[in-house]
Homo-oligomer: A and B are copies of this chain.
Amino acid sequence: MEILSGVFEDLTTGAPITLFIRNRDVDTRPYEILRRLFRPGHGDYTYFKKYGHFDFRGGGRYSARETAARVAAGVVAGKMLEPLGVKVVAYTLELGGIRAGCIDLDLVEKSPFYCPDPVSSQRMEEAVSNTRKEGDSLGGIAEIRVTGCPAGLGEPAFDKLDADLAKAVMSVGTVKGVEIGAGFEAARLKGSENNDPITPSGFGSNWAGGILGGISNGDEILLRAAMKPIPSISQEQDTVDREGHPSKMNFTGRQDIASIPRIIPVLEAMVKIVLADHYLRSKTIP
């Protein structure tokens, strides 16, 4: 990676920070088939419909390679949040239907799946291994926690903090669902359960996930994202060609079995970017 602009003698200058990552490990041959056929579950079809013409090499602009830029930007955002004491940590709550039974944040970095429960992590490893043999792929759920976020981040109506977080997280290619705090579970709670009591020492519970009225309340911000199984699988699938004729496809590019663990730093980055953006917009937080 090269820093093209925005930094001089170890300090930012106010100019845009350009981080430049050349993809040097390129082999576009496996993707030549995309000139003709659409991979199910990928953006090939919609890009063709929208643009008529698109760069399919490496899986196109919607390739997960694009998340490298997000992670890089997240590092810059993190530098802004650090002095505020804001910490963002993401981990795997569920993979292939296997759910972490306990959450020990100290164990996250030790698990190859960023799973906070060592027993579940082991079972995830087996599930991934079996799924690889089947030529199939797995989905999962990540949880992201933000500690140390001051109250007051978020803008009313148009750029609420939870709305911006939802957009940022949903914009990651593999994500199909986002929830804040109690999330979908809130639909089954009563008001008397779901309301977090306010006490002199803080909130008595955190079903809100740290955001009220679209603005951070100073409590831990908690969100979850659901990731679909990676669409590239080693099984023959039904598709059509650019003229609409039926076809079979067995695509082998570079593929993982699950977006987890690689998605975890991406989700952390997206949350940091949103928080840093709202911090810059805030005049009341020094």
A residues whose Cβ falls under 8 Å from a Cβ of B: 8-9, 11, 13-15, 38, 40-47, 49-55, 57, 60-62, 66, 94, 96-97, 131, 134, 136-141, 151-152, 154, 156-158, 160, 162-171, 173, 176-200, 204, 207-209, 211-218, 226-233, 235, 237-240, 244-246, 280, 282-284
Question: With A and B bound together, what is the CA distance between A192 and B235 in angstroms?
Answer: 8
Determine if A163 and B152 form an interchain contact, defined as CB atoms under 8 angstroms apart: no
Bound-state CA distance A212–B61 (Å) is: 12
Bound CA span A47–B246, Å: 50
A41-B194 contact in complex given A47-B215, A199-B238, C-beta closer than 8 Å: yes
Known: A196-B41, A226-B179, A246-B200. A215 touches B46 (CB 8 A): yes
Cβ-defined contact, A191 with B137, below 8 A: yes
Q: A55-B13, A157-B61, A167-B167 are in contact. Are A139 and B189 (CB under 8 A)?
A: yes
Q: Which residues of B contact A231 (CB under 8 A)?
A: 191, 194-195
Contact of A170 among B162, B186, B240 (CB under 8 A): B162
Instruction: Please tell me if the beta carbons of B186 and A139 are within 8 angstroms of each other in the complex.
Output: yes
Inter-chain CA distance A160–B167, complex, in Å, is 9
CB-based nearest B residue for A211: B46
Contact of A53 among B8, B280, B283 (CB under 8 A): B8
Collect the chain B residues with CB atoms within 8 Å of residue A195's CB: 40-41, 231, 233, 237
Q: Are B13 and A137 in contact, with the CB atoms below 8 A?
A: no
- A167 and B163 contact, Cβ closer than 8 Å, known pairs A188-B139, A226-B183: yes
The closest CB in chain B to the CB of A98 belongs to B188
Closest beta carbon of chain B to A168's beta carbon, Å = 8
Instruction: Give Cα distance in the complex from A11 to B183, angstroms.
Output: 36
CA distance A46 to B165 in the complex (A): 17
- A157–B62 CA distance with the chains assembled, in angstroms: 8
- In angstroms, Cα B153 to Cα A46, docked, is 9
- A–B complex contacts, Cβ < 8 Å, 26 sampled: A8-B54, A9-B53, A11-B53, A13-B55, A40-B198, A42-B213, A46-B151, A49-B215, A50-B215, A94-B188, A139-B186, A139-B187, A141-B184, A158-B171, A162-B171, A167-B167, A177-B177, A178-B178, A179-B184, A182-B228, A187-B227, A195-B237, A198-B239, A199-B238, A200-B244, A200-B245
